[in-house]
Amino acid sequence: MKRSTLHSLLAAASFALAASYGVTSSAQDPAHPDLSGIWTLTKPINAAKTEDGKTPPLTAAAKAVYDKNLALGKKGNRSFDGVSECLPPGMPYAQLLNKPFQVLQKPDALYFLYQENRVPRWVYINQPHPPSDEIDPTFMGDASAKWEGDTLVADIVGLNDKTVLDRSGLPHSADMKLTERLSVKDGILTDRITITDPANYTAPWTTVATYKRVPASFRIPEEVCATKVIQTHLDVNGKLAGTAVKRAPAKTASAAPAAAATVKK
């Protein structure tokens, strides 16, 4: 079984169990910074920008797609965004959502658990990518990382093309590669993500997101995306009928005090 398929089966259960018990780190390597904890954006990101605050260098074809997505978004139509239909956000979108995520850190891996539909992600440390023909294209990709001083640098490949880069609808191809640089200083986690995708961008570009830790008492709430779940039943003619179940509003890190009050000590 290919690595991405096997670990996708194991990770969801292990992440959910760890989060349920408030686990944030395990066998922490004292030689490197502690990235563990529950983090949330220091400020919302509606559209990914370059480091100098500009629109990414889109190709003409990609700009046409992006302009279409922006127009749809202004009308409240989010058909271009798989998150609205319960699909995983993918990368780097998962890191740009205005919802908290939890990091569990071990010497050989970094595990992410996102509030968004409890989506998991793992980053392997000092472990090379499998051969390319053994990597299943996935929403979150295959990440191989190493420490460069106090910064964890991850190379992410094997991403599918079923997602957009951010809430605004920036496009990407299945050949996109990401380089993620994670560091923490003065209680702020910084994620510098470089996007390389010649099919959609005329040059590699970097976007930056920063995060703050939420109170230790906060627990990521259960969030089940059910927009496309159908409750079926037999109608009077014996035929299947269904009613779509809409997703309920989710808690965010701003609700930490209320969530903390429900946690028994």
User: Which class is 3-213 in CATH?
Assistant: mainly beta
Percent of the chain with pLDDT strictly greater than 90: 67
Structural tokens at position 87: 């699909």
- How far is Cα 87 from Cα 225, in angstroms, rounded to an integer? 9
119-149: per-residue pLDDT in tens? Answer: 999 999 999 999 988 999 999 999 999 999 9
Residue in 139, 128, 94, 97 with CA at minimum distance from that of residue 112: 94
Residue in 25, 10, 182, 24 with CA at minimum distance from that of residue 92: 182
Range 81-100 average pLDDT? 95
1 pLDDT above the threshold of 70: no
Q: Which pLDDT score is estimated for 254?
A: 53
Answer left, alpha or beta for residue 34, where phi above 0 means left and psi between -120 and 50 means alpha: beta
Query: Would you list the domain boundaries of the chain?
Result: 3-213
Structural tokens at position 191: 């994620």
57 pLDDT above the threshold of 80: yes
Range 69-89 average pLDDT? 94
Q: Which pLDDT score is estimated for 9?
A: 44
Strand partners, 241: 233
Structural tokens at position 170: 């920036």
CA distances from 20 to 23, 218, 242, 256 (A): 8, 11, 33, 15
231 pLDDT above the threshold of 90: no
Question: Range with the lowest mean pLDDT among 179-183, 214-218, 253-257?
Answer: 253-257
156 pLDDT above the threshold of 90: yes
